[in-house]
Structure 1
Amino acid sequence: MEEHVNESKRPRTARELRKAKEAEEERKRRKEGSFNKVSETEVSGESLSAPSEEEAYQVSYEEQSQEELHTDYAVDSSSDEGEESIDDENYSLGATNIADLEELQTELEKWKRQAEENKEQLLRARADYENFRRRSRKDQEDAVKYGATSLVESLLPVLDNLERALAVDESTSESNVLRQGVDMVYRQLLQSLTEKGLSVIEAEGKEFNPHEHTAVMQEEAEGVGAGMVIEELQKGYRFKERILRPAMVKVSY
């Protein structure tokens, strides 16, 4: 009963109102038809008495059927509206789910891109770190290997002076003794430096090499091709793989 009252208070749609109106008109037509039949009977004199029980029962049965039809229609309308409401709710829920799915897909793509960027940054950082380690290791090796470079380089003028002293031609016995002493010092110093990694750059008779030779003079020489070192003016030295001082030379043209 409570559900029926609530259904009667619920706003009706245009289709429900139209069907209810048609049912009401049909019920009125049936009543008018029944009333006309009774009136015609009274006028014709066939019967001046009240409608028989059968006729009254027929009218009551028709009214009851009409009311049941109206009730069934209201129930059907309510059922249709309930189904429509469920369909609308399902459609709204489906649309919401699709929107949420699209939003999640967009968020997923965003995090995928972020993950790729983080991976690339990690790879670059790892490569930079490996390069730094190699450079640091090489710098340490060079520091150990060439740590005495400045010391050896500072002793080169000493070798030069000793060589000049040995180049002086003295015929006296005293000068010979002095020369022998200088030569001994020179050889001992050169040997010590050679053991540390010092080596003399070969120049005379070699093809001119701008990395190892410094040309200070050019001179034409018979039987010698152009670009050849014809005289060494000052020795050049190499410390291990590094050039400490290029040789000063005279080059042919």
Structure 2
Amino acid sequence: METTLAVEEEGAELSISHEEFEGLQRELDQALAKADEHWKLYLGAHAEMENLRKRAEREVQNAHKFALERFFGELLPVRDSLELGLAAASDAVDIAKLREGVELTLRQLTTAMEKFGAREVNPLGAKFDPGQQEAMAMLPTDQAEPNTVVQVVQKGYLLNERLIRPAKVIVAQAVPRPAG
């Protein structure tokens, strides 16, 4: 015995058998189950992405926080040497030995800086480069070519080829020739 379902909507009549209705109901149930499964997969993926974002954020914070740790580890012996030099300077000390200690400490500092990509800019005798140097004054002279660095007031520094402090320099200026 076939049962039909009749639905009347806005003047249209729809008639389906009981078997067709049950088939449609099964398809709907399967579609809802699949949608529920996809929703759970989405929530799991969303939670995993959120955890990844938080972990990456934490790692970036730690990288910023501890980025200088190795650098400071290299600077500690320099500080120790300076403290020993100060302690030795408070006693009667041979100036030559004190100078030797200061030179050793400077070498330690230079080595530590170089390990981390820091390099000094000492442009004495080179053409003036406004990208790496700051002209403090012009010096009229016939001892050097015009626009050449004749004195370095303060060395500059690069960190991994990026300028962190320009060298402060005095630049040669042509001496005006007397008219005659």
| TM-score for both structures, normalised by structure 1 | 0.33
Highest relative contact order (Cα 8 Å, sep 6+), 1 or 2? Answer: 2
Q: Which has the higher helix share?
A: 1
Give 1 or 2: higher strand fraction: 2
